[in-house]
Amino acid sequence: MSDYSTHFEAVDGRLVLANAILLYRSDTRGLSRSSGDDSFAFASMHPVTLDSEDRPTIEAGTPLTRAHLRQWTEALGRTAIPHILPENVLVSNPDVLVWWVAEQVRPAYFALSSPPDDLRVLGARTIVPVPYPAHLFVATRSGLGIFALPANQRPTADTRLLHSPILNVFVEGHLCWGNIARPKQLSPAAIPEFERAVFDSWSTHPNPGQEFTVKGKGGLIALWDDLAARRARRFPVSRLKPFIAGARRRTGQKQRANPGDPFTLERLIAAIARK
Report pLDDT digits (tens) over 30-83.
Answer: 554 544 556 678 889 999 998 887 788 999 999 988 888 888 877 776 655 667
181 or 261, which is more confident? 181
Report pLDDT digits (tens) over 163-197.
Answer: 999 998 999 999 998 888 889 888 999 999 999 99
* Across 201-214, average pLDDT: 87
Q: What does the alpha-carbon distance between residue 89 and residue 97 come to, in Å, rounded to a whole number?
A: 8
Contact 132, 125 (CB under 8 A): no
- pLDDT at 95 exceeding the cut of 60: yes
Q: DSSP 3-state assignment of 213?
A: helix
Contact 140, 176 (CB under 8 A): no
The set of residues, in sequence order, having a beta carbon less than 8 Å from that of 201 and lying 6+ positions away, is 109, 168, 178, 180
Q: Amino acid identity, residue 111?
A: A
